[in-house]
Amino acid sequence: MLVYFTVLTIVVLAAYLARKSESKIVSRLMLGIAFLSMVLVAGLRNQYVGTDSMAYIYFFNRTRTFIDAIILGEDMQEHGFWILTWLVHYLSNQYMALFFVIALIVISCYQWAIVQYSELIEISFFVFITMGFYLFFFNGARQGIACALYTLAIGQMLEKHFFKYTAIVLLAYFFHKTAIMMIPMYFFINRPNTLKNNMFIMVIGCTAMMFIDRIVGFATTIDARYSQYGTGGGGGGYYSFAFTFVLGVFFLIFRDSVRIGRYQYDRFLNMFLFGAMIGVVSILLRLDPSGLMRYGEYFNLTAIFIWPIVFKNLTGKLQRFIIGYSFVVFYLVMFFLTTEAFSNFIPYTFNPIVSDLFK
């Protein structure tokens, strides 16, 4: 865990100094340090760090030519990722190159969105890492890229540029098909958060539970792999569900206190509640947590942008202390528990090429 807490400390501190600095040069330098530390940890990891890392290395070694990429794309879908995998070979045949390129894409998108749409970037980076979005692409590389690209669409949603929003979502679709579902979501989430809207979200959740077999059946016609979205796996993902559910309740209660950034807060809250409802459906139906619950990543990432608005609207030293202290402890505990328990993130080991340099 030491390496993850180290990068967390470096990134949050660098982001804070970047925001506070009156010098553009210093600010950019600090953001560069934050960016580089996240990329290095992701790119220099051993193939055994992350449950799915070995699978991506296997396909990386199979994708040596453009024809290989097209054939694999026809078989596995999501052509964008396989073409990217082929292009990486022009840099190196070592899997380290693949890890670095994926990290550069994902972290670039998230960092750009955070700098653009968060007034307290250190809070956003803290949430980005501790809520698991940073480590997510260590395993789900394709969906990790799709989610990162989707953060670029958030600004277009806020500014009501539907066609630009759609173009970015379509780009994300070429890396993971689940992204396509975010196009119709535009019309549900891009509105004020009201009781009527929240009831509508609940109705969608209840409807999904009643017709989950038909929904999954339709999704399977698009891609057979989506059959697992309706597969009972004995349940799972309880930590993640409890985490997002508690946050959803807090964000909903806090809404009446929001005066600064209310427009953005409502849109982000709509999205987060959709993500929480996906978790409710998955838990109640005891579905495989690697299925439907992962679709919630597109919605849950809005926590990165909600929390700065929360802190901007805190009044009084006592309120700031209670919520601030609870925020830090809550996230650090969940970060520790989820990182230690899932996806082979522990122990973190370096790529043998790097390890050999210190022998």
In 3D, which of 276, 262, 265, 274 has the Cα closest to residue 306?
Answer: 265
- The answer to whether 269 and 255 are in contact (CB under 8 A) is yes
CB 106 within 8 A of CB 148: yes
- pTM across the whole model: 0.88
Please identify which residue in the block is written with the tokens 């799972």.
236
Q: In this structure, which long-range contacts are made by residues 195-202, counting pairs with CB atoms below 8 Å and at least 24 apart in sequence?
A: 197/270, 198/252, 198/273, 201/270, 201/273, 201/274, 201/277, 202/277
- For residue range 282-310, what is the model confidence (pLDDT) as tens digits? 666 665 555 566 777 888 899 999 999 99
Q: Quick one: pLDDT at residue 346?
A: 81
What are the backbone angles phi and psi of residue 45, rounded to the nearest 5°?
Answer: -75, 155
Q: What is the pLDDT of residue 40?
A: 94
CA distance linking residue 320 with residue 183, whole number of Å: 37
CA–CA gap between residue 230 and residue 197 (Å, rounded)? 26
CA distance 285 to 209: 7
Q: Give the residue, 229 or 141, on which the prediction is more confident.
A: 141
Amino acid identity, position 346: I
Q: What are phi and psi of 119, to 5 degrees?
A: -85, -20
- Confidence (pLDDT) at 232: 47
For residue 6, the cross-strand partners are none
Q: State what percent of residues in the chain have pLDDT above 90.
A: 40
pLDDT of residue 285: 64
> Would you place residue 10 in the very low, low, confident or very high pLDDT band (cuts 50, 70, 90)?
very high
Assign 278 a pLDDT band (cuts: 50, 70, 90).
confident
What is the per-residue pLDDT across 193-244, written as a single tens digit (0 to 9) for each?
877 777 777 777 666 555 444 554 544 455 555 545 444 444 445 667 777 8
**CA 355/CA 159 separation, integer angstroms:** 47
Q: Which of 110-114, 126-130, 210-214, 347-351 has the lowest mean pLDDT?
A: 210-214
Local structure of 94: helix, strand or coil: coil
Q: What does each C-alpha distance from 344 to 52, 106, 138, 197 come to in angstroms?
A: 9, 20, 10, 39
The answer to whether the CB of 271 falls within 8 A of the CB of 189 is yes
Domain boundaries, the chain: 1-182
Q: How confident is the model at residue 185 (pLDDT cuts 50, 70, 90)?
A: confident
User: In this predicted structure, what is the pLDDT of residue 234?
Assistant: 46
Q: Which residues pair with 350 in a beta bridge?
A: 45
Assess whether pLDDT exceeds 80 at residue 355: no
Tokens of 277: 């409802």
Q: Is 350 helix (H, G, I), strand (E, B) or coil?
A: strand
- Give tens-digit pLDDT for 309-329: 999 998 888 888 888 888 999
pLDDT, mean of residues 114-141? 92
Q: Among 325, 309, 324, 347, which residue's Cα sits nearest to residue 158?
A: 309
Cα angle, residue 242 at apex, residues 2 and 13 outer, rounded to 5°: 35
Cα separation of 135 and 36, whole Å? 15
56-69 pLDDT tens trace: 999 898 888 888 88
Residue type, 188: F
Q: What is the pLDDT of residue 246?
A: 86
